[in-house]
Amino acid sequence: MSNPELHHNRSLSYDPDVETVVSGIMGGDRHMLSRAITLIESQRPEHERKAHEILDRCLAKKTTSIRIGITGSPGAGKSTFIEALGEEIINQGLKLAVLAIDPSSRKSKGSILGDKARMEKLSARKEAFIRPTASSGYLGGTSPKTHETILLCEAAGYDVIIVETVGVGQSEVLIETMVDFILLLMLPGSGDELQGIKRGIMEIADAVAITKTDGDQSNIAGVAKAEFTAALHMLPAKYPFWERRVFLTSALTGKGVREVWQNIQDFFTQIRSHNLLESQRQKQLRQLLYTVLEEMLKKEFFTDPEVIATKESVEERVLSAELSPFSGAKTLLNSFTRRR
């Protein structure tokens, strides 16, 4: 009889080289894709180097995937809706990757929710790849490594990539820097909460889907639809060729799900015919370049021996009002640049 623990230890110690991982990803090996994403998410320098090498190689494979961001307040039924939408996408013969960003515990930095468990039907489909990722307290509603993960999923041949965000407010607008279509999910009774919805979120939405509009909710859903439609018309257009629509949906009955998917496909037909997709992707890559650069500089700064040596005393002087936070920051910056 085989020992499962021994098998587990063996699989952990197995460390394939870059070539093996890259050819595995390109060949659609989900295990190699998961392994590469784990390397990307790792904080260890040797993992980071390997991840960057894998990414560089995978970027050579140009794809025209559909990138969709799905956002909305917690409780709007994002996972249930994604499962229904995912079934619709797969039934059309497409491969789907879902990157579900979970709220992270501030203390442990672990994931609070298990998205794989919440999308049982979808995770059973071989055409779907579901990856729950903890946001690690990152403010973008997405994880800092989400964009790199999207690029890996594209290299693995996934036609549609859905990024589900935490749904935490204004900072959600960062999702726009990595996807092409943003779907905002709202609950039927939320029309009266329109004042509380951050304008930025409404401005970046390409369509709104009102969820859970079955049963008793169907009456108030019509009112919510009218209110959201009016609100969208008051905002400046995102694209001159695109009119944003509001859909009434129910993941339970399948109502409106097909219409939403059709709307997303229509959008991609339009954006491609206006030759905007390629320039949008380039804009996103530029953004990623500087986001990664900022992360690197931050890490370099806080691990610098001079900064570590002076940090405590500068902090004490700032807290005792002997030094302003601005002068304190300047002092730390000087200690960082002095040896360069």
Report d(CA 68, CA 8) in Å as an integer.
Answer: 35
pLDDT, averaged per 10 consecutive residues of the chain (340 residues), comes to 45 76 93 93 87 91 87 83 95 94 47 54 90 57 73 95 73 76 84 58 88 80 87 89 94 93 97 92 88 86 94 96 96 87
**Domains with residue ranges and CATH for the chain:** 4-58 (1.20.5.170), 66-274 (3.40.50.300), 286-337 (no CATH)
For the chain, state the CA radius of gyration: 22
Per the structure block, which two tokens stand in for 5?
């623990």
- Which pLDDT does position 200 carry in this prediction? 67
Q: Which amino acid is at 179?
A: V
Answer yes or no: are the C-beta atoms of 117 and 149 closer than 8 Å. Answer: no
Per the structure block, which two tokens stand in for 68?
């969709």
Q: Across the beta sheet with 160-164, what order do the strands follow?
A: 128-134, 96-102, 160-164, 66-72, 181-186, 207-210, 245-248
Q: What is the pLDDT of residues 150-202, one digit of tens each?
A: 999 999 999 999 998 866 554 466 778 889 999 999 888 755 555 556 666 78
- Which pLDDT does position 190 carry in this prediction? 57
Alpha-helix residue ranges (DSSP H) falling in 27-143: 30-41, 45-58, 78-90, 115-118, 120-123
Q: How many CB atoms lie within 10 A of CB 340?
A: 5
Placement of tokens 């859909």 in the chain = 247
For the full predicted model, state whether its pTM sits above 0.85.
Answer: no
Answer yes or no: are the C-beta atoms of 190 and 225 closer than 8 Å. Answer: no
